[in-house]
Amino acid sequence: MRARRILVTGADGFLGQGLIAELARRNNTDAVVATDVREVPQARRLPGITYRVLDVRDSGLGALLAEHRIDSVVHLASIVTPGKGSNRAFEHSVDVGGTRNVLDACVAQGVKHLIVSSSGAAYGYHADNPAWLTEDHPLRGNPVFAYSDHKRLVEEMLAQYRAQHPALAQTVLRIGTILGERVDNQITALFEKPRLIAIAGSDSPFVFIWNEDVTGAICHALSGDAPPGCYNLAGDGALTIHQIAQRLGKRTRVLPAGLLQAALTVGKALGISRYGPEQLDFLRYRPVLLNTALKTRFGYTPAQTSAQAFDAFVAARAAQGKPVTAA
C-alpha cells in the first residue's frame, strides 16, 4: 500500500530532517505530520508539512493519528547519543516505552504500515558474530550498551506485535553506521584521532550507509513497492580500521586487548573518560551487515558503497574546513 498520510516521530533529528525535506520535495502525499519532542523553529519549517510537538511516550499520539487519518508511521525517535545527565531508565522509557506507545497507538487507530529505524547494534557486539550478518541471525544485543540492548528489546517487541496484530505491516530497517555531511558522533570521533586505535587480532570492520540512502530506503518502503519485513540497511562491502586509516593517510596504533581494557577501566574510574572497558567489544566485534535481502527482496540498492560513503564523509569534512585526514 502506498502511503498517503504519514506521521514521522523524531522528525527534527538528523534522519528526520532529511526525510521530511525529501517528503516535502516529492510532494506526492496527502499529509505529512512531523512530530518531535522539540518545537521546530519557523525558519526550518517546510511548506506542506504539519509540525507538532509530541513526546513519543505521550498518550495523545493516538488522537493525533486519528485527527490526521494517518495510514503510515515512520518511527525514528530514539536516543542514539545520550546527553549529560541522562540515565538508563530514561533512555529505556524513550526507546522501549516510546516504541510500545507508538505500536499501541497504531493498532488502536488502524494504521496500516509502521516503518522503524532499528540498528545493526541489535545483533550485538560478540566474538562469535559471523563475518557477515544476515537477517536470519539472532538479535542478541549487549546489556552493557544501552543503545544495543534497547534495539534488541524493541525488535523483540516488534516481533510480538507482528504475531498478534498482523494487520499492521512492519518494515524494520537495521541500519549500519550512518555517515553524512553533518554527522558528528562517537564513531566519527574515532576517525579524527592522529592515529586510529586498532585492537590486536581484530580488523574492526565497519559497514557504512550514506544518510541520503537511509532516506531513500524509507521512501521506498513508503512507496508501497517493497514488501514489509526486516532488512539490513548498509552499503556494499566494509572497511577495516586499517583500510580506514589508509584512506585518511594515518597510521594505526595497535594495542593488545588487555592493555586497552585496563586503560579504559582506569580512565572511567578517574573520570577522564566517559567510556569504560565495555567499549572494547564495541570496537573489536563490529556487526558487519550483509545487504543482499535489501537489494533482492526489498528492492533497494544504496547509491553508495561503504567505501564511497566514507570517502564522501571525508570530502564533506574537508569542504567544511574540518578535515579528518592527516596534515
pLDDT in tens, 198-213: 999 999 999 999 999 9
Q: What is the pLDDT of residue 274?
A: 67
Mean pLDDT of 174-179: 98
Mean pLDDT of 91-111: 98
Residue 263 covered by a domain = no
Determine the Cα–Cα distance for residues 203 and 214; give it in Å rounded to an integer. 26
Which range of residues forms the domain containing residue 76? 5-178+209-234+288-303
Does residue 169 sit in helix, strand or coil? Answer: strand
Yes or no: say if 134 and 174 are a contact pair by the CB < 8 Å rule: no
pLDDT in tens, 135-150: 999 999 999 999 999 9
Cell 495523545 locates to 60
State which H helix or E strand residue 101 sits in: helix 98-109
CATH number at residue 162: 3.40.50.720
Question: What b-and-e string marks burial along 51-75, b requiring 16 or more CB atoms within 10 Å of the CB?
Answer: bbebbbbbeebbebbeebebbbbbb
Is the per-residue pLDDT at 276 higher than 80? no
Give the pLDDT band (50/70/90) at residue 81.
confident
Determine the Cα–Cα distance for residues 311 and 305; give it in Å rounded to an integer. 10
Q: What angle do CA 294, 210, 183 make, to 5 degrees?
A: 140
Q: What is the pLDDT of residue 260?
A: 87
pLDDT in tens, 44-76: 999 999 999 999 999 999 999 999 999 999 999
Determine the Cα–Cα distance for residues 232 and 236; give it in Å rounded to an integer. 11
Cell 554527522 locates to 183
- Give the residue among 317, 284, 198, 285 at the shortest CA–CA distance from 246: 198
Question: Which amino acid, residue 282?
Answer: F
Q: What are phi and psi of 115, to 5 degrees?
A: -110, 125
Q: What is the pLDDT of residue 298?
A: 98
Residue 123 covered by a domain = yes
Mean pLDDT of 243-254: 96
Determine the Cα–Cα distance for residues 18 and 74; give it in Å rounded to an integer. 13
Residue 189 covered by a domain = no
Residue 201 covered by a domain = no
**Residue 100, Cα to own-chain centre: how many angstroms?**
18
Residue 149 covered by a domain = yes
Is the per-residue pLDDT at 228 higher than 70? yes
Is the per-residue pLDDT at 270 higher than 90? no
Count: domains in the chain: 1
Residue 325 covered by a domain = no
Cell 499520539 locates to 61
**What is the number of residues in the chain?**
327
Residue 273 covered by a domain = no
Give the pLDDT band (50/70/90) at residue 83.
confident
Residue 137 covered by a domain = yes
Q: What are phi and psi of 53, to 5 degrees?
A: -85, 120
Other CB atoms within 10 Å distance of the CB of residue 238: 23
Percentage above 70 pLDDT, the chain: 98
Handedness of CA 270, 276, 277, 280 (dihedral sign): negative
Is the per-residue pLDDT at 271 higher than 90? no
